[in-house]
Amino acid sequence: MRFSTTPTSKLSQQHNNDKPYYVTTPIFYVNASPHVGHLYSMLIADVLKRWELLKGREAYLSTGTDEHGMKVQRAAELQDLHPKTLCDANAETFKDLAKRANIANDYFIRTTDPEHRDAVEFFWARLRESGYIYESKHEGWYCVSDETFYPEDMVEKRVSPMTGKSFIASIETGNAVEWTEEKNYHFHLTAFRDRLLQFYRDNPAWVVPNQRFTEVINWVENNLEDLSISRPSSRLDWGIPVPDDPSQTIYVWLDALVNYITTTGYPHWKAGSEHAGGWPADVHVVGKDIIRFHCIYWPAFLMALDLPLPKQVLSHGHWLMSKQKMSKSIGNVVNPFFALDRWGVDTMRYFLIYSGHVSGDAEYNNTFIVERYKKGLQGGLGNLLNRVTRSNNWSVRQAVDNLTKTRASVLSPPVENHMAYLEKVVEKADSQMKELNPSWALQEIMEAVFETNKFFSDAAPWEKSKEGDTAAVDQTVFLAAESLRIVGILLQPFIPEKASELLDRLGVDPNRRTLEHAVLYGDASYGTPSVPLGTGAQSSLFPFIPVED
């Protein structure tokens, strides 16, 4: 059986002539502290970006904070603070979260940045010139929490379980709405109904997962209304004033969505180099509760100005605790800083990506974190690394040197079978990443760890060493080391610090850690650790962690 020895050029070079890869998180409201859902959005975007870097493509990641609007204004009033003071403090908290979680963001945009204000004013002026903005009286059910109006058939009367009082709520989110009548500016959204639907038909994979795309299409077909895009400054003054009309403040969602092009240099794109900053975005990562804004309003705004639309939108599910959506009022919110401190950065990255769902919600539980850690990281990856690198019965360096030089033509069936399996791992993981499913990609990679552990146990090189069968020992140790090397390369976007340490323990040169090296026989130079391997469980790559509450 012949195995590939050529770098994965198709995977690593297919985007060399493209614009830079550009992925975004939602920008997060600063009216409250970050929770684990914010961290999850950041992590998905971070893994997507790092994967493209692994493939040799230039890539950018943007995150940031949404600092205007009624929610922020009211939160500041309750704390007797100027809104900017509140924004400055909470924006730093989100910055700290990105840094603490090892998010490789290139931009951290704040909607109070002068550059962003300039971009929004320019965007508004172009929208007005396009003829799609008009003035009108607006009345309807407005939700401060969601920063949006809801039609009559999307609100209902409810009773608060906390107070027993009745209130009108959004059916979609459960948040309270209030009747509002005001004169403001509107965007002629209904004029884009047919263009939106045609775009959706032409791009059937534009929204991931598909069932949320169906929701978007249903909304456009059945609930589309012209959109109120300003608020009277007498009611909302914390925002960007409408150019030439300071009596109105630009709607927070129009303001916020423009952030995605602000970071790419809009409106100062140079002719012929409009894509240099990354636009159109390759992926907008958003929570499922804000999909309408990103998949209906945003593309319509861009269509109105003949600007390119983002290539895809990834809408992920929520994190639940005790099968309930996390909520400050219920008291089941997970502080991401505490979680990162308790479990470690890469443990949390691993758990959230592995266990999180794009298509549905996921349950957050400390017990689940421990289970994932023990099975996948400690008992799977860490145990395999120790078994291969710490033994006195063989030398990893010698096995690598012998096998890469001789390319043994006679291989045992178990070795041939595992080689054939290992050859498919990169392609399987990359395929899942192309489908915007990092969880399944990570599961494919970890399955290779479990399969290699099984292969190693079945081959029992320690027994072959006692028998003096050095050829069998070298074959087994080499293939197990190759499995670890390839897995270590693939894990870098998911658990960057631990993956780096794993590759250090294998002695893989830092310049040989890209996807083009993630092939059998792709590196003949490793096998001598560049860091101490240590002895005992606590010096392992994934040591024992306390689990008591």
For the residues of 248-269, what is the DSSP string, one character each? EEE-HHHHHHTHHHHTTTTT-P
Residue listed under structure tokens 């040799």: 56
Q: How many beta carbons lie within 10 A of that of residue 215, not counting itself? A: 17
Which of 15-19, 151-155, 165-169, 205-209 bottoms out in mean pLDDT, i.e. has the lowest? Answer: 15-19
pLDDT tens column, 511-538: 999 999 999 999 999 999 999 998 888 8
Distance of CA 31 to the CA centre of its chain: 22
Per DSSP, 374 falls in state I
Looking at residue 534, its amino acid is G
| Residue 2's pLDDT band (cuts 50, 70, 90) | very low
Per DSSP, 308 falls in state P
Tokens for 211? Answer: 């069932």
DSSP string, 82-132: -HHHHHHHHHHHHHHHHHHTT---SEEEETTSHHHHHHHHHHHHHHHHHT-
Does the reported pTM lie above 0.85? yes
Residue listed under structure tokens 């609930």: 223
Tokens for 172? Answer: 């979609």
Burial 282-308 (b: 16+ CB within 10 A, else e): bbbbbbbbbbbbbbbbbbbbbbbeebe
Closest CA to 483 of 521, 442, 524, 429: 521
| Residue 6's pLDDT band (cuts 50, 70, 90) | very low
Give the contacts of 105 (CB within 8 A, at least 6 positions apart).
42, 46, 61, 62, 63, 98
**Residue 74: its pLDDT value, please?**
92
Mean pLDDT of the chain: 92
Asked if residue 71 lies in contact with residue 144, where contact means CB atoms within 8 angstroms, the answer is yes
| Residue 175's pLDDT band (cuts 50, 70, 90) | confident
**Residue 165: its pLDDT value, please?**
80
Tokens for 502? Answer: 């794993």
In the predicted structure, residue 365 carries a pLDDT above the cut 90: yes
Q: CA-CA-CA-CA torsion for 257, 263, 264, 268, nearest 10 degrees?
A: 90
Give the contacts of 136 (CB within 8 A, at least 6 positions apart).
183, 184, 185, 186, 226
In the predicted structure, residue 180 carries a pLDDT above the cut 70: yes
Alpha-carbon distance of 419 to 4, in angstroms, equals 10
pLDDT tens column, 428-457: 999 999 999 999 999 999 999 999 999 999
What is the phi/psi pair of residue 304, to 5°? Answer: -60, -30
Give the contacts of 329 (CB within 8 A, at least 6 positions apart).
162
More confident residue, 162 or 473: 473
| Residue 7's pLDDT band (cuts 50, 70, 90) | very low
Percentage of the residues of the chain whose pLDDT score is greater than 70: 95
Asked if residue 240 lies in contact with residue 117, where contact means CB atoms within 8 angstroms, the answer is yes
Strand duo 313-316 + 59-66: pairing: unpaired
More confident residue, 549 or 358: 358
Percentage of the residues of the chain whose pLDDT score is greater than 90: 79
Task: Report which secondary-structure segment, H or E, holds 481.
Answer: helix 470-491
- Domains of the chain in start order, with CATH, are 9-341 (3.40.50.620), 365-539 (1.10.730.10)
CA neighbours within 13 Å on the CB side: how many for 426? 29
pLDDT tens column, 385-434: 999 999 999 999 999 999 998 876 667 889 999 999 999 999 999 999 99
**Residue 166: its pLDDT value, please?**
84
Q: CA-CA-CA-CA torsion for 220, 223, 228, 229, nearest 10 degrees?
A: -30
Give the contacts of 338 (CB within 8 A, at least 6 positions apart).
none
**Residue 139: its pLDDT value, please?**
75
Which of 239-253, 311-325, 496-510 bottoms out in mean pLDDT, i.e. has the lowest? Answer: 311-325
Which of 177-191, 345-359, 360-374 bottoms out in mean pLDDT, i.e. has the lowest? Answer: 177-191
Looking at residue 319, its amino acid is W
